[in-house]
Amino acid sequence: MKRSLRTRLMLNFLIAILVTAVVVVVLADLITLNQITYMVTFAGQRTARLLAPTFAEYYLQHGGWQGVEQLMIRYRQALDVPPPPRPMMPHLRPETHERLLLLDAQGNQIADSVLQHPALVLSAEDKEKGFPIVVQGHEVGRLIVVSTLPEVQRERSLMLRQIRRWMILAGGVAMLAGLIVSAMQAQQIAAPVRALSRAARRIAAGDFSQRVPVRGEDELAEMARAFNAMVEQLAQQQTLRHQAMSDVAHELRTPLSVLQIELESLEDGLTQPTAETLAGLKAEVEHLGRLVEDLRVLALSEAGELPLTRERVDLASLVDGVLRRMQGAAAEKHVSLAAQVTDKPVEVWGDAQRLTQVLLNLLSNALRHTPSGGAITVTVQRDGEARVSVRDTGEGIAPEVLPHIFERHYRPQGSDSGLGLSIAQHLIRAHGGRIWAESRLGEGSTFTFALPLA
């Protein structure tokens, strides 16, 4: 039969409490019995030791044990009768008065302090427990305190049974209290687990808004925090997957539509397959290829899975190489390209290919918005960090547009893609840097990214 976690915890707690209670009761019973036996035995031996000189004096005075029963009678009356001026019996406290047996030198019982009482059958071991009575260097008898004998100690079992009953009752009360406490503890442990189970089932059904409460600083709270972090990651991955699908549909719709129209025109004979037409189709295919690559890079960077091959990169050399690649496109548009590099070495740890892609995106964006006869300047500075700025003399960006230019799919001033600046931002962040833009209408724009120095 299936049992809940709460039930299993309660059963485990109850078993632990039961075992503990049984062990405590058994040990307490043994300890109590041993202590009572020790106290009775010690008291009896003390009584025998105190009385032995009196019996030795009697033996010496009478030359034997004849009439010793009278001495036993005086001992028995010592409880109620004050001692005589010259006592034959030492004064004893009431708790020290015990039943006495007197044995002769041969071990025969010759006197008992309790009259009309069944005679005790003593074993050799019982006789050895008697205190020796020595007269002139010879043992003439033994004095036995009956309470020290195991047979008589059994008569105290009634008191031990009462003590044992109280112990069992105390153990039962402890078990009941432990059961209540264990039920409360099981509830406290099982409640977060049930909450996790409910949340996990809802998440499996696609509801990523589920979170579990975090209480305290124990392992259960740590598990709840880890669970919530996992749900955050799952929700983020789900959002990224939906966003990637949206990106594909959004970015590929226009070039695919253009290709479809061109191909249908060729198929219907409306357009001739001239070199110019084929070049246009090739350009659209290349544009599709760039879009697919941009989408892939953007998806990987947002998921934190974009691989970076880090090495020591000289930003001055990197800028020089990128400018040489862009010279042809700039000359075709009659835009001048220039670089301003500090005399100090500016090196960072990064992926040279990805940093080149960032700079190409920024330069392409600047070239697209810089009119003929304009200028683009790339500046490399070192000021506690490495800074690269791309400044153009284009039309500038409106203040209401500027906060949105790094958002995906945003197309400022007729750009052909809303992914370039967003990709640049994600790549710089993957390098532990930051990127921003400054612009004034009619005066141009400046895009700057900063990276930690190597």
CATH classification of the domain holding 271: 1.10.287
Instruction: Tell me if residue 91 falls in helix, strand or coil.
Output: coil
Residues 15 and 85 reside in one and the same domain: yes
Cα dihedral 413, 416, 417, 420, rounded to 10, equals -80
Answer whether residue 328 is part of any domain.
yes
Which residue type occupies 147?
Answer: S
Whether 363 and 432 share a structural domain: yes
Lowest mean pLDDT across 148-157, 222-231, 333-342, 382-391: 148-157
Which tokens go with 442? Answer: 């009619």
Same domain, 329 and 246: no
Residue 4 confidence (pLDDT): 66
Q: Which two tokens stand for residue 254?
A: 């226009």
Q: Is residue 424 part of a domain?
A: yes
Pairwise CA distance, residues 216 & 221, whole Å: 6
| Alpha carbon distance 186, 178 (integer Å) | 12
At residue 130, the pLDDT reads 81
pLDDT score for 32: 74
Please state the separation of Cα 22 from the chain's center in Å: 33
Using one digit for the tens of pLDDT, what is the confidence trace for 299-340?
Answer: 777 667 778 889 999 999 999 999 998 998 899 999 999 999
Please say if the pLDDT value at position 97 is more than 70: no
pLDDT of residue 338: 92
Among positive and negative, which fits the CA dihedral 243, 249, 252, 253?
negative
Report yes or no on 400 lying in a domain.
yes
Pair 237, 317 in one domain: no
Q: Which of 31, 60, 51, 59 is nearest to 164 (CA)?
A: 31
Total tally of structural domains belonging to the chain: 3
Position 452 confidence tier, pLDDT thresholds 50, 70, 90: very high
CATH number reported for the structural domain that contains residue 397 in this entry: 3.30.565.10
- Quick one: 296 and 315 in the same domain? no
Does 183 fall in a domain? no
Region of residue 245 (phi > 0: left; psi between -120 and 50: alpha; otherwise: beta): alpha
Residue 117 phi/psi, 5-degree rounding, is -120, 140
Query: What SS3 class is residue 84?
Result: coil
Average model confidence (pLDDT) for the chain? Answer: 78
Residue ending a domain, among 140, 156, 172, is 156
Q: Is residue 247 part of a domain?
A: yes
Q: In this predicted structure, what is the pLDDT of residue 379?
A: 94
Residue 312 is classified by DSSP as E
Long-range contacts of 182-189 (CB under 8 A, 24+ apart): 182/9, 182/10, 182/13, 182/14, 182/17, 183/10, 185/9, 185/13, 186/5, 186/6, 186/7, 186/9, 186/10, 186/13, 187/6, 189/5, 189/6, 189/9, 189/220
Shared domain check, 318 and 297? no
Structural domain contains residue 282: yes
Structural domain range at position 408: 311-451
Same-domain status, 256 and 316: no
Distant-in-sequence, close-in-space partners of 186: CB < 8 Å, separation ≥ 6: 5, 6, 7, 9, 10, 13
Instruction: For residue 165, give the 3-state DSSP assignment.
Output: helix
Residues 334, 434 within the same domain: yes
- Same structural domain, 243 and 277: yes
Torsion angles phi and psi, residue 28, rounded to 5: -65, -40
Q: Where are the alpha helices (DSSP H) in 131-156?
A: 150-153
288 and 328 in a single domain? The answer is: no
Q: Does 26 fall in a domain?
A: yes
Residue 210 located in a structural domain: no
**Segment 253-278, tens digit of pLDDT:** 767 777 778 788 877 777 777 888 78
Give the percent of the chain with pLDDT over 70. 81
Specify the pLDDT at position 247. Answer: 61
Q: What's the pLDDT score for residue 391?
A: 95
Pair of tokens at residue 403 = 């906060």
At residue 165, does pLDDT exceed 70? yes
* Residue ending a domain, choose from 109, 125, 156: 156
Q: How far apart are CA 443 and CA 425, in angstroms?
A: 23
- State whether 28 and 121 are in the same domain: yes
Whether residue 108 has pLDDT greater than 50: yes
Rounded to an integer, the average pLDDT of 409-416 is 50
CA distance 216 to 205: 29
**Whether residue 34 is found in the same domain as residue 132:** yes
Report, as an integer, the average pLDDT of 117-135: 77
Least confident of 107-121, 168-182, 340-354: 107-121
Token digits of residue 390:
């791309």
Task: Out of 135, 156, 177, pick the residue that ends a domain.
Answer: 156
Instruction: Say if residue 241's pLDDT is above 80.
Output: no
